[in-house]
């Protein structure tokens, strides 16, 4: 039997509680936008493997807001993913999206469980971004979460961290099919896989497509060579 300590029901989320529990629940809010901020803060202390995060219902019972399935599922996939909703409410489109993102989580959870969560600095205050880096440095995933409308006309590049500056990485936008019609620029990630050095990714950074509020860009990278 595994035991989860709850933010409100258990009242404790600290290192000491792990003598008695295997998992933590950060907040009774299942609002995906609120959980993005909560998870980002908790990443200073807690690895993904012990941090529960669930795909909630379309209508959030704690905030009254509604989010599409892609947003809810990608927020949950950043931590120990689970489901907390009535599957009978799913439309066919939602079910397909949930299946796709859940499979992505299953394919990547092993290395994410032992990797580092690195909080990235963003010049845009409406963006919360993080990078999960495999322990051996062979791969990473970046989540760039657009919480609100940006106050910037042109987005600034998102710089990565703790990569091998001399290595070459293949980088692609996992969910490029979600590029919005308002994204009129042509950053290379919209159409191709980049092959760039770790030094370039850390010094210049990635130019991402325009993002609408409550959406996430998922960028995957693999080390190719030294």
- Residue 85 Cα distances to 16, 30, 69, 79, 104, angstroms: 31, 10, 12, 17, 20
pLDDT per residue rounded down to tens, the chain (226 residues): 888 888 776 667 888 888 888 899 998 888 999 999 999 999 999 999 999 999 999 999 889 999 999 999 999 999 999 999 999 999 999 999 999 999 999 999 999 999 999 999 998 889 999 999 999 999 999 999 999 988 777 778 999 999 999 999 999 999 988 877 666 667 788 888 999 999 999 999 999 988 889 999 999 999 997 6
The pTM is what?
A: 0.93
Q: What is the DSSP letter of 154?
A: S
Q: Give the separation between CA 56 and CA 10, rounded to whole angstroms.
A: 21
164's tokens = 């091998």
Domains in the chain: ranges and CATH: 4-113 (no CATH), 116-225 (2.60.40.1180)
Tokens of residue 120, six digits: 């990235």
Token pair of 17 as six digits? 């509680």
8 to 50, 61, 73, 160, 190: CA distances (angstroms): 17, 16, 23, 35, 42
Measure the CA–CA gap between 216 and 36, rounded to whole angstroms: 10
């Amino acid at each position: 039997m595994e035991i989860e300590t709850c933010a409100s029901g258990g009242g404790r989320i600290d290192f000491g509680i792990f003598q008695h529990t295997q998992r933590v629940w950060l907040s009774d809010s299942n609002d995906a936008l609120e959980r993005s901020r909560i998870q980002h803060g908790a990443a200073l202390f807690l690895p993904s493997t012990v941090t529960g995060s669930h795909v909630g219902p379309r209508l959030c019972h704690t905030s009254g807001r509604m989010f599409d399935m892609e947003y809810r599922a990608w927020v949950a996939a950043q931590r120990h993913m689970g489901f907390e909703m009535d599957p009978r409410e799913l439309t066919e489109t939602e079910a397909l999206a949930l299946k796709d993102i859940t499979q992505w989580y299953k394919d990547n959870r092993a290395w994410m469980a032992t990797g580092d969560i690195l909080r990235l600095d963003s010049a845009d205050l409406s963006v919360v971004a993080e990078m999960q880096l495999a322990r051996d440095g062979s791969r990473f995933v970046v989540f760039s979460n657009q919480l609100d409308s940006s106050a910037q006309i042109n987005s600034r590049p998102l710089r990565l961290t703790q990569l091998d500056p001399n290595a070459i990485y293949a980088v692609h936008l996992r969910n490029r099919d979600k590029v919005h019609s308002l994204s009129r620029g042509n950053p290379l990630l919209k159409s191709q896989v980049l092959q760039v050095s770790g030094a370039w990714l850390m010094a210049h950074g990635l130019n991402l497509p325009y993002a609408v509020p409550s959406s996430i860009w998922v960028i995957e990278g693999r080390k190719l060579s030294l």
